[in-house]
Structure 1
Amino acid sequence: MDGNRKKKGLRRLLLFIAAEFLLAALTVWMFDPFYQYHGPFFGMEAVLNDRDNQMPGTVRNFSYDSVLMGSSVAENFDSSFLDGTYGCRTLKIIRASGSVADLLYYLEMAQERGELRNVFWCLDIPALEASTEVTLKGGDTPGYLHTAGILDDLPYLFNKEILLERIPAMLAYSHAGINTGGHAYDWSRGKEFGAAQAMRAYDRAGIVLEGEPPDRDFSDKKGLIGDNVALLTEQVSSHPETTYRFLIPPFSMLWWDCAYVNGELEERFYALDSAVTALLRFENVEVYCFQQEDWIVCDLDNYMDMVHYGPEVNQYMLERMAACGNRVEPEDWEAVLAQLRELARRISQEEIYRYYP
């Protein structure tokens, strides 16, 4: 009798443990904070605040016909403005550093679901010099994020952090309307913007120049820049029914002065010129340049560091694009590039000294 009771007790214990595991897995599957299996249930809005973990699932499982792409400087765009303006349904695709190869990885995943109507791409100049290798896999990145099957998802389904932290936070954010709707991945809440904050990222006062800094030789970079431009043009040419709108964002004058003192101005202009010249050859491409907006670039109150601006600048870019403002036509590009060169000269010779006397 004692032996039978022990066996029954052991079976009950095992059944109880199995039920707990099943309940945990069902809870994670149902709420699914990384959206590995489905969009949000129960009428909840999607809470998108973890770009690295949520990006693959949202690309696979959300409903959209357009995408808004870029690095961290693109996260504060309100994509609902695009939906209302262009009559589309936009998904944000964000990658830290925004390399061309990594963003194309997600874009090609999205296009496997069907031809997109619009690609809004906030194209950083540094992305044109980034590695052409996809860096989304390996290291600390969970492999299960990049597979559609469930067989490798045990670290996700049975995860204390997911159950006790991620899901409650998702519910709280959804209730408060944080990082929902068009404000997916928006990081501006609670951040400090202003000249004092921006200048902490760049010690221009500690730099002593003796004459003009010589231009660095970047012949070794030209091949890499060409490879990235080729990735862009191959993407555009392969999808003639998709309209690509590239926005060149306005990095601050700190970024441009840093390029000047390091002899990198020509390298940056070469990268930008190579990309824009190549892209403007396509009928399904529009290019909008905001780097020459000196009232933004030269006012450090718009920034929190050398490149990151506030959401007001993001909204300005969308509104100008919607009105076809700042659009670069093929015949205009040389004049715009000359304007950029003059602004870079004026920054290093005049404007920077308003903040660094």
Structure 2
Amino acid sequence: MQRKKFVFIFFGFSFFMIFAFLSIIWYRDPLHLYHKPYSCKNEIWDNMRLASAGLIKHYDFDSIIFGTSMLENSSATEASANLGGKFMNLSLSSSDFYERALILDFAFKHKNFKKIIYSLDANKFLEQQKGNPNYALSEFKFLYDKNPFNDIKVYFTDEFLKKIFKFGKKYQCKNSNFDRPKAWFKSKAHSVRFGGFENWLKYKDNWQIKNSFKDIKNAVSKINNNKIQSLENLDEQILKSKQYVDEYLLKFVSQNPKTEFYLVLPPYSRLHNAIEFHTKKRDFLVTKEVLRYLVEQSQIYKNLKIYAWGDTDYPDNIANYKDLTHYSHKFNSQMLLYLKDGTGLLTPQNFDKYYAKFEQKSREFDLMPYYEKIKDLTE
């Protein structure tokens, strides 16, 4: 009799503890997977690969900004004012088309979207990338599958358990910016590098600046030694990139004819363009042909528009950039105005003219003044 009583108490206590454990997780729910939060109501988790699932399920919006760090500074409020709809910025830092497709597939099951602004990051389709090594797919992919019951396992990590089981003053909430949750432009580590190449030199120990200087040095070395990227397998690379775009992007365009897609080619610095043009001929040509292909598809799918501003003077001014590719947040605002009035819209009629000017600017840009300033710097 005593043994039965002990077993009953043991299992009863175990059940109570499990129930209490799961109840606290459900109540705190920092990713908003099950409901809008009862605590930390203004907090969005820093990792948007994890946070997007709950935002999609439980928040009211009908349009999204969905890119990489190139669109993280874009204001949802400004997008709504300029283009209509109710925007949310779900941009994922360094995300490829495959990762975004996982989330888009999930998103379209929960919402009818009016508009999507999407960054066409060329390096992703050039490499046909499927997952970023810094963000393991196993850590978030299950949040976007067809099984809602496995979502809870995301909380069984040290990071989340420490957050969830802190009480009182130890449980600190962040006030997130719902307008642009992952905006980085206000961070001093980023903002101090805008304004000119001399600021790059001041912060030469920054990893993005180190990589930029390395790219400049490598480019000059390749040019001097005639070690330019071969055009071998060019047609094969174009085909693979088109297939990647078809599978992870254009399928959403074709399946959702009532959703307007604005695909924007980020205006990387002219310094970056020159490096690509002079040392990565094949990649440069693949990007051109994939972009041409997308422009052609925009004539088939009336809900698709392609925008690019690489022929303007903006990329010529290095003061607009904190490294080779990341532009000022002011252009994110300008971009939305351009989308509103159609500036930069590519069509079959203007594509060749656009690319001729873009290529000319890239070809004629002088790398040497920048190389001279960094050639004696050591790693």
The normalised TM-score by structure 2 is: 0.77
Match of 1:84? 81
Among 110, 113, 116, the alignment partner of 1:116 is 113
Among 255, 258, 274, the alignment partner of 2:272 is 255
Alpha carbons of structure 1 residues 276 and 130: separation in structure 2 relative to 1, 3 Å: farther
Deviation at 1:219, TM superposition (A): 3.0
| Partner Cα separation in structure 1 for residue 98 and residue 29 of structure 2 | 28
Alpha carbons of structure 1 residues 246 and 153: separation in structure 2 relative to 1, 3 Å: closer
Tell me how large the CA RMSD over aligned residues is: 3.4
Deviation at 1:20, TM superposition (A): 4.8
Deviation at 1:118, TM superposition (A): 0.8
Deviation at 1:345, TM superposition (A): 0.7
Match of 1:155? 153
After the TM superposition, which residues 13-162 of structure 1 pair with which residues of structure 2 at under 5 Å, given as runs? 19-41=16-38, 44-131=41-128, 140-142=138-140, 144-147=142-145, 149=147, 151-153=149-151, 155-157=153-155, 159-162=157-160
* Cα distance per residue 1:173-226 (max 9 Å; x no partner): 12xxx3x21111223323333331565223324633338646532233122122
Match of 2:362? 344
| Partner Cα separation in structure 1 for residue 165 and residue 362 of structure 2 | 47
Contact 1:71 1:95 in 2 (8 A): yes
May I ask how many residue pairs the two structures share in their alignment? 346
Among 206, 211, 214, the alignment partner of 1:201 is 211
Alpha carbons of structure 1 residues 19 and 187: separation in structure 2 relative to 1, 3 Å: farther
Deviation at 1:271, TM superposition (A): 2.8
Alpha carbons of structure 1 residues 119 and 216: separation in structure 2 relative to 1, 3 Å: same
Match of 2:375? none
Among 207, 232, 237, the alignment partner of 1:221 is 237
Deviation at 1:111, TM superposition (A): 1.5
Match of 1:237? 254
Contact 1:68 1:92 in 2 (8 A): yes
| Partner Cα separation in structure 2 for residue 49 and residue 138 of structure 1 | 16
* Cα distance per residue 1:242-269 (max 9 Å; x no partner): 1111111111234323322233432332
After the TM superposition, which residues 165-204 of structure 1 pair with which residues of structure 2 at under 5 Å, given as runs? 165=163, 171-174=172-175, 178=176, 180-188=177-185, 189-192=187-190, 193-194=193-194, 195=197, 196=200, 197=203, 199-202=209-212, 203=214, 204=216
The one-letter code matched in structure 1 to 2:362 is A
| Partner Cα separation in structure 2 for residue 293 and residue 64 of structure 1 | 33
Among 282, 285, 302, the alignment partner of 2:301 is 282
| Partner Cα separation in structure 2 for residue 35 and residue 327 of structure 1 | 37
The one-letter code matched in structure 1 to 2:301 is F
Q: Report SS of the residue matched to 1:240.
A: coil
After the TM superposition, which residues 295-306 of structure 1 pair with which residues of structure 2 at under 5 Å, given as runs? 295=314, 297-306=315-324
| Partner Cα separation in structure 2 for residue 157 and residue 97 of structure 1 | 24
The one-letter code matched in structure 2 to 1:26 is S
Deviation at 1:16, TM superposition (A): 6.0
Match of 1:293? 312
Q: Report SS of the residue matched to 2:88.
A: strand
The normalised TM-score by structure 1 is: 0.81
Q: Which structure 2 segments of 5+ residues have no match?
A: 373-379
Alpha carbons of structure 1 residues 219 and 119: separation in structure 2 relative to 1, 3 Å: same
The one-letter code matched in structure 2 to 1:238 is Q
Among 210, 218, 235, the alignment partner of 2:224 is 210
Deviation at 1:79, TM superposition (A): 1.4
The percent identity for this pair of structures is 16
Match of 1:322? 340
Contact 1:132 1:227 in 2 (8 A): no
Alpha carbons of structure 1 residues 331 and 59: separation in structure 2 relative to 1, 3 Å: same
Deviation at 1:47, TM superposition (A): 1.6
Q: Which structure 1 segments of 5+ residues have no match?
A: none
Contact 1:303 1:310 in 2 (8 A): yes
Alpha carbons of structure 1 residues 246 and 158: separation in structure 2 relative to 1, 3 Å: closer
* Cα distance per residue 1:71-91 (max 9 Å; x no partner): 222212111211233332223
**Moved >4 Å (runs of 4+):** 6-21, 132-140, 147-150, 157-160, 166-171
1:353 equivalenced with 2:368 (yes/no): yes
Alpha carbons of structure 1 residues 24 and 190: separation in structure 2 relative to 1, 3 Å: farther
The one-letter code matched in structure 1 to 2:266 is P
Match of 2:376? none
Contact 1:72 1:96 in 2 (8 A): yes
Match of 2:377? none
Deviation at 1:93, TM superposition (A): 3.4
